[in-house]
A = this chain, B = another copy of it.
Amino acid sequence: MSQAPSKVGILIFPGFEPLDVFGPVEAFHTISKKLAKINLVWIGPTLDPVGSAPKDIHTTTMGSTVDTRVVPTHTYDNPPEDLEVLLIPGGLGPRVPSSDGAVAFVKKTYPKLKYLITVCNGSEIAARAGVLDGKKATTNKFGWKESVATGPKVEWVRTARYVADGNVWTTGGVSAGIDGILAWMAHVYGREVARQVANEMEYEWRDDETWDPFAYIFGEYA
């Protein structure tokens, strides 16, 4: 257990998808209490609060106003030196130019990491940084075509709840991040620990990377 990573960073940028972040964060919260040492940090463009859905990129036809503002603990320019795990969420953010800073951060940081984890189209940030090239990976099924277009040298796996290739874990869309992080926790901290985390979260863990009804549901549209 002394080798198990504890320093975990959540990459945030304007337009992050809430559950991409907070599914895995809930699992880190739960495991951190009595099962593993976790030091969680939040890495944003600056130390100012970062919104999940800034008005300039949140497309709604309904007159909705929906935003979540989260406060970073670190910046892309000054991350913790001992970062071991980086989690990249998706959302609308990866598809606008303001995400260039996040891409540059991932490119610079990946060689120092023990693990990189992407949720949903957080894969686009990783693909644009080149760190998925030549690797097997998956992404969300709802916006599959747009996501895989960002990584022409990636070996994309269409029907997969999550994919592990070396130290890179990628998951399907949004909720798939929860199954992915639990599988990663099983790999790193042991299956019994991951099961306990899932149960405390009262989460029906799909402990099977090939389980993916959404590949079929969105088969014609993605």
Residues of A within 8 A of B (CB): 6, 17-19, 21-23, 25-26, 28-29, 32-40, 42, 49, 52-53, 58-71, 120, 140-142, 172-176, 178, 199-204, 206, 213-214, 217-218
**Other A-B pairs, 9, CB within 8 Å; known A17-B29, A68-B70, A199-B218:** A6-B64, A32-B64, A37-B64, A38-B62, A39-B64, A39-B65, A174-B202, A175-B201, A175-B202
B33 touches A29 (CB 8 A): no
A29-B18, A203-B175 known; A64+B49 contact, CB < 8 A: no
State how many angstroms separate the Cβ of A205 from the closest Cβ of chain B.
10
A70-B70, A174-B202 known; A29+B49 contact, CB < 8 A: no
Q: A22's closest neighbor in chain B, by CB?
A: B22
Q: A69's closest neighbor in chain B, by CB?
A: B71
Instruction: List the B side residues contacting A19 at CB < 8 Å.
Output: 22-23, 25-26, 201
* Interface of A (DSSP majority class): loop
Most buried by B among A35, A67, A206: A67
Instruction: List the B side residues contacting A66 at CB < 8 Å.
Output: 28-29, 32, 38-40
State how many angstroms separate the Cβ of A22 from the closest Cβ of chain B.
4
Instruction: List the B side residues contacting A63 at CB < 8 Å.
Output: 37
A62 touches B32 (CB 8 A): yes
Could you say which of B35, B59, B69, B141 contacts A62, with CB atoms under 8 Å apart?
Answer: B35
A217 to B205, CA, bound (A): 14
Instruction: List the B side residues contacting A29 at CB < 8 Å.
Output: 17-18, 52-53, 66
B39 touches A61 (CB 8 A): no
Q: A48's closest neighbor in chain B, by CB?
A: B71
Instruction: List the B side residues contacting A65 at CB < 8 Å.
Output: 38-40
State how many angstroms separate the Cβ of A90 from the closest Cβ of chain B.
11
A25 to B64, CA, bound (A): 13
- Please name 24 pairs of A and B residues whose Cβ atoms are closer than 8 Å in the assembled complex, sorted by A: A17-B26, A18-B25, A19-B26, A21-B22, A23-B23, A29-B53, A32-B64, A34-B60, A36-B64, A37-B63, A37-B64, A38-B66, A39-B64, A39-B65, A49-B71, A68-B70, A70-B70, A172-B202, A174-B202, A174-B203, A175-B202, A175-B204, A176-B202, A199-B217
